[in-house]
Chains A and B, each alone.
Chain A
Amino acid sequence: MNSNWLAATSFEQSMEIIAAINELSTHAKLKRAGIEDGSEKDAVVEESRKILSAFLTHLHQVVKSTNGDETQPILGTDPRSSELVRKYLIQAKRNTASEGLYNVSLNRFIELISTNNREQFDELIICLKDLRELVEQHMHGDVNNLLGNI
């Protein structure tokens, strides 16, 4: 009866989110460059949007409950997800000059997720890049827990 179930749950979620970020980011970058992405990709992009919207909505709720203070206990959230929220809050304080994730509200980011407006793609792409970095760093702990280090 160990507690690797937490790492496994977090790992699966992170993998799903990163895959969704890459799909949507690829789609936006190719559109921005005027390169055809292929109509068969539409369903995958829509699914990625759903996954990211759900994740960001939840993140937004939890972040709101902390009042921006990463030292507050995060209730009703498993220890790994709390860790991710704390990382986000710390980064948001450090990266005040950033143009991406830490300088737009999460509500705005959620709006951007569903945009098809090419003029908003720059903003979307940079937010997705920051989110990918955040989730990849976070996932590192789960990978170490589950698969170990060489």
Chain B
Amino acid sequence: MRFELQVQNRNLRRDILELLQHIEVIDIPPELIPFRAQLRNMCTKMREICDKNLKVLESEQKTRILLDELMSDTSNIHIRVRNMSDILVPALVRNPHGTHLSLKMLVWIHRQHAETEANFPVVTDGGWSILPSRLLPIYYVPLLQQRRLLMQPLLFHEFGHQLHLIHKTELDELIREFQIVVLRKLNLPLASNDRYYERQLTKHHQIALTWYSWLAELFCDAVGFQIGGPCYLRSFSFALTSMRRDDFRIEQEFIMGSSHPVPWLRVQLLAKRAESAGFVDIAKRIRAVWSETAAALNIEEDYYGMYDEVLEQDVIQIIDDMLIETNPRSYTETELATTNANILFSPIRLLNKAWEIHEAKPDAYIEWEKQMISQYLNVPHEPHTIQMFTRSSGEEAS
């Protein structure tokens, strides 16, 4: 075993050094420098563990005493190297300049929150999602959206998952309170020994448990709206509409244990939130589009017991509480101004303006977007520029 472990650790050490070479040779935008430094740091720590293992393995006595730990450490380095080789390093080296637009927006939003300032993000190809991490969060953005503005607000939903990770203990406690409400409001039949009761009880438990993931997603939807404002509602509604029946109703056998709420429900809850924030017209328009599509597909709302109007106020309240707990940056009035001045003043202003131009002047939009992206990417990431993008100075600029 001692010989085997020596071979494994030597091989892993060599792999780590090769990963370091990949990390160092690539030309990257300045926003990725902290991510690269963090990767380098992780590789260095992994190499140190291999070195430590190899040193222990020189001694027969220590090897005998620490065999369990040596095997576990070696196995963990193995997994970490795979994680580096399969996910983390490719995310950095794949096309660092192609994903620059999303990256710049994410670096900005991470820096707006003290608790995420030191989590250095990276962006790579894939369906909208995130692998949240206290060290190296990875955001996935579809290839087609990487050089466009309209769907970028969806990044703020993914950022919500990062906030969930950071505030997990507090948010999980709030979710627990809500799950208790769900169980209470489901009107469980009186206890008895028959099979019907057992089946109902199991179903109610499944519903309460499914609400963990549903609330997590609804919270991220609300984070997206709080950060982006109306541009988020527009992107979100647009992204979720594929004119399929699944957008409106998930069949009974799939709804229990599902990872995401039914899109129609998400849009309705978000439209309600937008309405409360004063965006009545846009909320009405989006609701109408979804209702018309549902009518055309001949679908009626049915959540098979997962959701009922009786829960609506509780859902809204718990999400409000989750927002208070995590305190995501909120859009400002200045960022929603309809004038054409200072469009690059903040990403939120740029994204809301993009939707405005897209709707008002669709023919001119593509050219406008191209110019704006080019200008936005050229705004340097100097400290004073970052300062310019902060909430307080944003208000001053108005």
Q: Does B57 contact A (CB under 8 A)?
A: no
B86 touches which of A12, A76, A82, A147 (Cβ 8 Å): A147
Q: B69 to A75, Cβ gap below 8 A? A: no
In the complex, A22 Cα to B70 Cα: how many Å?
8
Number of contact residues on B: which range applies? 35 or more
Q: Does B68 contact A (CB under 8 A)?
A: yes
In the complex, A35 Cα to B82 Cα: how many Å?
34
Q: What is the interface of chain A mostly: helix, strand, loop, or mixed?
A: helix
Q: B131 to A146, Cβ gap below 8 A? A: yes
In the complex, A20 Cα to B319 Cα: how many Å?
34
Given the contacts A22-B72, A22-B73, A136-B72, A75 and B179 also touching, CB distance less than 8 Å? yes
Max chain B C-beta neighbours (<10 A), residue from A6, A82, A139: A6
Residues on A facing B (Cβ under 8 Å):
1-6, 8-9, 12, 15, 18-19, 21-22, 25-26, 29-30, 33, 35, 58, 72-79, 82, 129, 132, 136, 139, 143, 146-147
Can you sample 26 A-B contacts with CB below 8 Å?
A: A1-B127, A1-B260, A2-B127, A2-B259, A4-B129, A5-B132, A8-B132, A12-B133, A12-B135, A19-B73, A21-B72, A22-B69, A22-B73, A29-B69, A30-B65, A30-B66, A73-B179, A73-B208, A75-B176, A75-B180, A76-B172, A76-B212, A77-B212, A78-B172, A79-B209, A146-B131
Residues on B facing A (Cβ under 8 Å):
62, 65-66, 68-69, 72-73, 75-76, 79-80, 82-83, 86-87, 127-135, 154, 157-158, 161, 164-165, 168-169, 172-173, 175-177, 179-180, 205, 208-209, 212-213, 216-217, 259-260
Given contacts A2-B259, A26-B66, A76-B172, 4 further A-B contacts (CB under 8 A): A1-B129, A1-B217, A5-B161, A75-B209
